[in-house]
Amino acid sequence: METKKMGLWSAICATIFGLLYIFALLLTLAGLLQKPWDTFWQLLPSIFLAWSFMSMMACLYKIKNNNKDVYVFVGFAISIIYAAINSIVYFTELTVVIPGILAGNQDQYTILLFEPGKFLFAINGLAYTLMSIATLIASISFNHNGKEAKVKWAMVAHGLVGPFIVGAVLWAPLTYVGALWIITFPSLGIISIKFFLEKE
């Protein structure tokens, strides 16, 4: 019962924080958020997204009860790496880089700017690729039919976005395919919420 409850709230939080990130991203693309506030409002929900996603994966592992548990466990383990990397990236941006820029010291933080071609941006791309790999591997533990089928295929869809996210770090046009994340992740979150609600 506790696993179901925590899984439900983790999925709800992951979905909400994912949607808040998407909302901030769309405001940025529309020119309504300017630097460095565009980065701030995208990364603030993202750090909580990383933690709640990791918690959701832990609960999915715990709630499974068959001989294929190892795949969802590996997915959970990879999600820990994803959360750890993004915790470092986002905490650095939110507490060091953005305050430094607002204080007029942008030149001092050039190497840490969250922009294409910069170190932390590339590491962030790696983290989100790991997030996708986590769901793709974990999907093997879920059945092709019944209540688990939707979770399985939502995980697969989200997992398939991974190569395009890391690829976009090297070749920018792949960003347009990697941007499918804004569909696949909220879909996975909503389907996971329903899965936890229906789980006895």
Residue 96 confidence (pLDDT) above 80: yes
Write out pLDDT tens, residues 18-29: 999 999 999 999
Query: Which residue type occupies 179?
Result: A
Give 183 or 69, the one with higher predicted confidence. Answer: 183
Give the range among 93-97, 105-109, 154-158 with minimum mean pLDDT.
105-109
Rounded to 5°, angle at Cα 68 from 62 and 70: 65
Q: What pLDDT, on the 0 to 100 scale, is given for residue 170? A: 86
Q: What pLDDT, on the 0 to 100 scale, is given for residue 70? A: 87
Q: At what angle do helices 119-138 and 149-170 cross, to 10 degrees?
A: 150
Q: What pLDDT, on the 0 to 100 scale, is given for residue 107? A: 87
Residue 95 confidence (pLDDT) above 70: yes
Cα–Cα distance, 40 to 24 (Å, whole number): 9
Show the DSSP H helices in the chain as ranges. 2-29, 37-63, 69-92, 98-102, 119-138, 149-170, 175-178, 181-198
Cα–Cα distance, 84 to 69 (Å, whole number): 23
Q: Which residue has the tokens 């019944």?
A: 146
Mean pLDDT of the chain: 92
Q: What pLDDT, on the 0 to 100 scale, is given for residue 106? A: 85
Write out pLDDT tens, residues 45-88: 999 999 999 999 999 998 876 656 889 999 999 999 999 999 99
pLDDT over 70 for what percent of the chain?
97
pLDDT band for position 184 (50/70/90)?
Answer: very high
Q: What pLDDT, on the 0 to 100 scale, is given for residue 65? A: 65
Q: What pLDDT, on the 0 to 100 scale, is given for residue 62? A: 87
Q: What pLDDT, on the 0 to 100 scale, is given for residue 68? A: 66
Query: Which residue type occupies 173?
Result: P
Cα–Cα distance, 173 to 175 (Å, whole number): 5
